[in-house]
Chain A
């Protein structure tokens, strides 16, 4: 039976080459790329034989942990098409254990498994510093390969089992959120480090922590042996074996579960009442606001935006702090940056409706009602963000005098973005991710126009907010009353931007309703 499955897997692999020439070229380039990464990794690991034990351990454990993490997480986030999904064999009436074993063995035939096997085996060269470390390195390599391949099987199956329904695919955004939230403490740790001196110490600390987790245990077994610490080497060996055992048992249980679980099990959630619609006025504006807010909470495309907003400042923080910008100054950056992104995020809102916008057109909805309704969710997030964020930023910055200008700049940027978005989304929609598609999928025809419109919306909102920004800069340089000027101009810009944006955008929306629908139908 196992042989049958191996044969099947080999045939599937072989058939990937029987495609159109261009697909073949892409496949070969991909393979060469993978091969290149593999060769570099193998050579690097061999070269690490010359490094001292500490350095070699840090590199192997951190790099290796990332590789294991990749095997576990990539199928979850990307949702790999599984050619050997256990459910495809449910009609053949095989014993569960046979099927689980056969599928697991077949999973070792494949490019990723070959790459991780050869890379992990080359750590034998790295640790050829005595019989003990070398033998343990072979054991470690076997465990690493088992962990990766079984782990990928388990997470792929979990993804297939859990993500089969529309609702579940929608929550992939949440999975990404969890992954990113897990990463961000590490990132802030990195951000707070004094990179000039502590680099090596940090690497050591990270490697030590990872070596006690399922990700890094197997990698660090030979390293500890090479350092003479056979006690912890043995403990980590036990951890690694336990991880493989748990994955194997989990895989067996999953196969059993999947065989009796039909694909696309529709478990539909039932909502009571009218939800958010009860909390907004029963006017077109209120209803559109409730609808928008419901979409922000339910639609993965909007949730992806919500997730990105707290992540972005971290992405900004880390490189700047590495570049040596003082931390006090850095604390002034995240809030305006988040506001910029938040206000900008609705600049293509109408395209997100796709053709459902016909309802607004057919009802003769007032343009201002449509515009205000779409602004409400962003304002509901943005206004508390500005107030609380400004206070937190000022506290971390260590000087409360920046509070007025922080509020001024942030609100100016936020509402300038909202105003410009109100006009842009009615006047210049560009193809967006369709409802129901993955938020990480790119629409087929976005191209240069999209990039141009995105940057224009960004730059124009910064330009509109520039008075508040200039006053804030003066406050930082000269002190004095400039902060209050920034606050006053910021509030003024906010009000004006929203009023003008809503009025102008509303007129455009009313005039161009049929054109907006025609655009949505084309894309």
Chain B
């Protein structure tokens, strides 16, 4: 179903197949920020190196460039180039099958888009991947750790932006960031440092001292996205991250995410925007009625045409616009 080679002989080192390197990423706007935001935290052991100076060293960042010398020998990361692996995932609500036997492998360092029509099961899938919704069956492995067998360890590697869930919105933006960072086990100094970096990167300076309840929808998305990244997770799972975010902010955020991917991080996002996914993502999966209809690199999935063409074709084609002739003669 998918093309990313497994067991490519890289041993313990997580391999980034398509990381183009920092130089290959267009530098736009606030691009310099990303060097200050440590993204990949390489050790899954409890005592993680979270102090700011150390983590900000470039060598601590990309898994692809640095050998895993710092890993605890007791817990070798199981990583064969796939940071997220979904096998036979199923979820049923009453008599409705929301997710029907989904298999998906997300290669390390990929920018993975999940597209599908409304109600296709994207949010359900991502909720199960992030440990928010208990699956009826199947297995989810994050960086070699089974999400539902050892959730505490698996959750450490993931940053989550859920769709349509509330935030603790009686906190100010700054408080919410701090809260998220501390809950993720960072120390206060690191959280402050990263908060100020994220606030600058996301353009939230004017908003951080106001209650999140008073934010606009786009601002709420941005603060939630910042909170999802603060613990420099290996994998970011974003459900509709750019819904109602203005184009300028979206461009900035995409730039940040692309730099994150370039340095070895992995982004999985769901979206309705085909053009956007085609432009930004290097891998894509098309999910319709709880099943994966196509998955792989962008070029493989879309073939010669656009992603939208392929999507419409897979999702059941266009409905013939018959029986709507009354719309073509105007009533006045």
Contacts and interface: CB of A to CB of B under 8 A. Distances in A.
Contact of A362 (B160, B175, B179, B210): B160
Interface stretch (A4-12, A83-91, A246-254, A512-520): A512-520
B124 to A, nearest CB: 11
Contact of A284 (B156, B168, B172, B182): B182
A272 interface: yes
A266 B134 contact: no
Contacts of B251: none
A354 interface: yes
A364 B213 contact: no
9 contacts: A167-B211, A271-B175, A290-B179, A298-B211, A353-B166, A358-B162, A361-B131, A364-B153, A515-B134
A283 B178 CA distance: 11
Contact of A364 (B152, B167, B227): B152
Contact of B178 (A274, A355, A358, A517): A274
B214 interface: yes
A271 B168 contact: no
Interface of B: 130-134, 151-153, 155-156, 158, 160, 162, 164-172, 174-175, 178-180, 182-185, 187-188, 191, 209-211, 213-214, 227
A363 B155 contact: yes
Chain A interface size band reads 35 or more
A363 B184 contact: yes
With a 10 A CB-CB cut-off, give which of B164, B166, B174, B214 has the most chain A CB atoms. Answer: B166
Nearest to A284: B183
B180 A359 contact: yes
Given A359-B180, A364-B151, A298 B170 contact: yes
A274 B131 CA distance: 29
B271 to A, nearest CB: 20
Contact of A435 (B166, B185, B210): B166
A357 B180 CA distance: 12
Nearest to B168: A356
Contacts of A30: none
Nearest to B231: A363
Contacts, number: 115
Contact of A299 (B160, B170, B180): B170
Contacts of A266: 214
Given A277-B179, A282-B187, A364-B156, A358 B214 contact: no
Interface string A264-295: 00101111111101000011101110110011
A359 B130 CA distance: 11
A270 B152 CA distance: 36
Contact of B155 (A269, A287, A362, A517): A362
B214 A518 contact: no
Nearest to A518: B133
B214 A166 contact: yes
A274 B175 contact: yes
With a 10 A CB-CB cut-off, give which of A266, A287, A515 has the most chain B CB atoms. Answer: A287
A356 B166 contact: yes
B172 to A, nearest CB: 5
A388 B133 CA distance: 46
A274 B173 CA distance: 9
A294 B182 contact: no
A340 B180 CA distance: 33
A268 B214 contact: yes
Given A359-B167, A362-B160, A517 B133 contact: yes
Interface in A312-335: none
